[in-house]
Structure 1
């Protein structure tokens, strides 16, 4: 049974169109910091599986780096 409500997802794993979001932010002059708040249950959160959590962090960072290159 799927949980109702909000579910945290890593960048690239959820519903957000990151390319569109990043292009829009850039068009408004945003040049600040992007942060990943990793709470994606599919990648070890909130458990103690450190290797899964690190893999999630790696995937999220890789996705954002690639998305930023495309804008």
Structure 2
């Protein structure tokens, strides 16, 4: 299973990822993504959505890592 990693130094809180992966991410008060479970584990059913969120991040702040 993959895990979602957010590079906080690159993220500028545009919210694209939270729209594409709302089952895993939510937004904080300033619009930055927050991992709902604190771990970022991506279930197999959401792999496609997670890859889409990574690919569409305008700041390249997301990546999938092997757990």
**TM-score, with normalisation over the residues of structure 2?**
0.30
- Structure with more strand by fraction: 2
Structure number with greater Rg is 1
Q: Which structure has the higher relative contact order (CA within 8 Å, separation 6+)?
A: 2
Provide TM-score, normalisation by structure 1: 0.29
